[in-house]
Structure 1
Amino acid sequence: MTAIQKIPAEETLAIFLSHLSGERRLSDKTVEAYQRDISAFLGFMASHLDEALHLARLADLKPMDFRAYLAHRRRGDKPLSPSSVQRQLSAIRTYYRYLERRWDVKNAALPLIKGPRAKRPLPKPLSVSGASELTGLKNKDGKSLPLPSDWIEARNSAVLALCYGAGLRISEALGLTAQDLPLGRSLSLTGKGGKTRLIPILPPIKKMVEHYVKLCPYPLNKDGSIFFGARGKALSPRIIQAEVQRLRGALGLPETATPHALRHSFATHLLAGGGDLRTIQQLLGHESLSTTQRYTEVDSAALMTVHRQAHPRA
């Protein structure tokens, strides 16, 4: 065994962490997370193998050793969720890549290891009234609101109305140009992955966009976005996100109320109203129907909640 192969695992971890903070300049919290994850892995392996770890032993770990660690993390005293176990496995892979670059130590078993499949979180849509309030379409009593007289308020309402009323991603809404105007009954849009879809534009949404364009103090550029920031530059998504954060506090909406939650609301409310999955898939521009099917789970979860709250035997 060479001198390099005898380097203790704890020493390699210290050097690895120094590399993360020094050369890669990762944040202190990120480095602490790596330290916590790798230390837990090394501590388990030392106990599991009943021997001190060094580079040669790290290179010689077998698939059963890695699987034993992952099983321990999922079924131990403090079991982790599948997504947390995946994160730990990712940290271990990063650590081993560094070992290979720094000391030419490679483990043949690690690429064979797959972590648990993390369950994709369900979309968190708003209620119909919450979405209408957030976009400025209606008040909490369900009555239509007058169009804003301030151009920035009109701009914000138009962007959010496109997210909810047409199911656009915020990047798609902010990507509309003067060539898309005047809006008709539908809009042809090329979105994520270069996928083109045809989206119906409801009269209230069309009216809000036209109202904003009328109030906007800046001339529209044929190829530039129709949505401007206060100083005349292209509008940043962060401005809309900050506005939604302010509005949800004022309206008493949950923290899950975001511009993207309006797109989720568009899909969920269509489904609840009788829309079929294939049509909603096309409207959202999803490549796979399985992505759209998540909204059926949201609808089912909502129904179960209502049942539990309302049924006398629940």
Structure 2
Amino acid sequence: MSRNLKDSFKSIEELSDKKLFTTYEDWQKWLLTFRNLSKNTALSYGYDFKYFLNFLRLHYEDNKVSLSILNNLKVQDYRSWISFLSSKNILIGAKSLARARASVKSFFNYCILNKKLENSLIFQLSSPKIPKSLPRPLSDNQIKKFIARINEEKNTIVKLRNKAFVILLWGAGLRISEALSLKTNDIKNDYIVILGKGKKERLIPLIPQVKKVLSEWVLERSKIKVSYCNNIFINFNGKKITPRYFQKFFYNLRNELDLDINVTPHSLRHSFATHLLKNGVDLRTLQLMLGHSSLSTTQHYLKVSNQFVNQTYNKTHPRAKISF
């Protein structure tokens, strides 16, 4: 999205009349309690709804959007909104576009259930087909380069913290949000307690190498003056590290090591899953370790593993080298 355009967008409170804003706040609470969505997901839905209201402001040239305006929207209005999101100034990807539809549909669904709106024309919009891309794991050699580069860091706090973060994502398959939400009392002797998506709790065993690196950071962390934060990953001021910090850290590391642009913190989770499958872990066990609610999500990693099997077969089978 164009930064200039994004910066010009107003907040939901600025765009809404009092009744619509109160409804928006109630919807956000409903997402967290009734739908049991994570705070990050509810926040993302809120961003999508904000962009939707900003579109309506531009579309109707009105400073305030009301429930009455939403109730009178036509199918063509929703299609114009989709075109707006797909324009050069916005240009969001297929997954983000699908989520934007889901977010606004969720708001309308909430309003209809609570008799605040009658307009259900948005549900006539067909959901876009999202091209399925295979996970892109890092090779063992690439991860070794990551660790070697981190070990060159002169600042002890930065080195031990960032190394623990990378090793934890790679060695335990955590999402970045799960790692950054990890508390000191979530680390047990041989496992960690993770509160994943949908507030589902799972236990991840700590292999010796991961436990060692994590223990080194926890010991160093204890030397930092912390007043109230009990998150594992904190900064010099004892405050919780933001996702943005590690995204920027990976961006710089990726450029230094000349790695693919698609290498992100989530790539380490992909690596965890793919490496386990290559070494014989069954899908059901992997599903539990990754915290997937559906086995079909975990099966995407099977395709990557099968590619590895085919490559190994063609490289090692004696008949693969013989012309018939």
What is the TM-score of this pair, normalised by structure 2? 0.58
Contact 1:178 1:223 in 2 (8 A): no
CA distance in 1, matches of 2:270, 2:302: 12
Query: Are 1:246 and 2:246 counterparts?
Result: no
| Offset at residue 164 of structure 1 (A) | 0.7
CA distance in 2, matches of 1:201, 1:129: 22
- 1:249-268 equivalent positions in 2, closer than 5 A: 249-268=255-274
Query: Are 1:184 and 2:189 counterparts?
Result: yes
Q: Give the counterpart of 1:209 among 205, 214, 229.
A: 214
1:172 counterpart residue number: 178
Query: Are 1:199 and 2:204 counterparts?
Result: yes
Query: Are 1:300 and 2:300 counterparts?
Result: no
- 1:51-70 equivalent positions in 2, closer than 5 A: none
CA distance in 2, matches of 1:87, 1:220: 38
| Offset at residue 232 of structure 1 (A) | 2.3
Contact 1:220 1:226 in 2 (8 A): no
CA distance in 2, matches of 1:82, 1:189: 30
| Offset at residue 132 of structure 1 (A) | 3.3
Q: If each structure's helix is expressed as a fraction of its own residues, which one has the higher value?
A: 2
CA distance in 1, matches of 2:153, 2:97: 49
Contact 2:225 2:238 in 1 (8 A): no
1:273 counterpart residue number: 279
Structure 1: where are the runs of 5+ without partners?
1-19, 39-57, 62-80, 94-105
CA distance in 1, matches of 2:169, 2:309: 25
The residue type equivalent to 1:294 in the other structure is H
2:143 counterpart residue number: 131
| Offset at residue 235 of structure 1 (A) | 1.2
Contact 2:135 2:270 in 1 (8 A): yes
SS in 2 for 1:123: coil
CA distance in 2, matches of 1:255, 1:207: 30
CA distance in 1, matches of 2:155, 2:100: 52
1:230 counterpart residue number: 236
CA distance in 1, matches of 2:226, 2:97: 50
Contact 1:171 1:237 in 2 (8 A): yes
CA RMSD of aligned residues (A): 5.2
Larger radius of gyration: 1
- 1:66-215 equivalent positions in 2, closer than 5 A: 111-134=123-146, 136=147, 150-181=156-187, 183-215=188-220
Contact 2:202 2:288 in 1 (8 A): yes
CA distance in 1, matches of 2:178, 2:96: 32
CA distance in 1, matches of 2:268, 2:96: 28
Deviations 1:22-74 (A, max 9, x none): 958x9xxx89xx89xx9xxxxxxxxxxxxxxxxxxx97x9xxxxxxxxxxxxx
Residues 148 and 174 of structure 1: is their aligned pair in 2 closer, same or farther, counting only changes over 3 Å?
farther
SS in 1 for 2:144: helix
Residues 292 and 118 of structure 1: is their aligned pair in 2 closer, same or farther, counting only changes over 3 Å?
same
| Offset at residue 130 of structure 1 (A) | 1.4
Contact 2:134 2:304 in 1 (8 A): yes
SS in 1 for 2:202: strand
Contact 1:227 1:235 in 2 (8 A): yes
The residue type equivalent to 1:122 in the other structure is L
| Offset at residue 83 of structure 1 (A) | 6.7
Contact 2:151 2:159 in 1 (8 A): no
CA distance in 1, matches of 2:252, 2:100: 35
CA distance in 2, matches of 1:88, 1:223: 33
Structure 2: where are the runs of 5+ without partners?
1-11, 17-46, 60-72, 76-92, 106-117
CA distance in 2, matches of 1:235, 1:88: 27
Contact 1:178 1:221 in 2 (8 A): no
What is the TM-score of this pair, normalised by structure 1? 0.59
Contact 1:147 1:154 in 2 (8 A): no
CA distance in 1, matches of 2:243, 2:121: 43
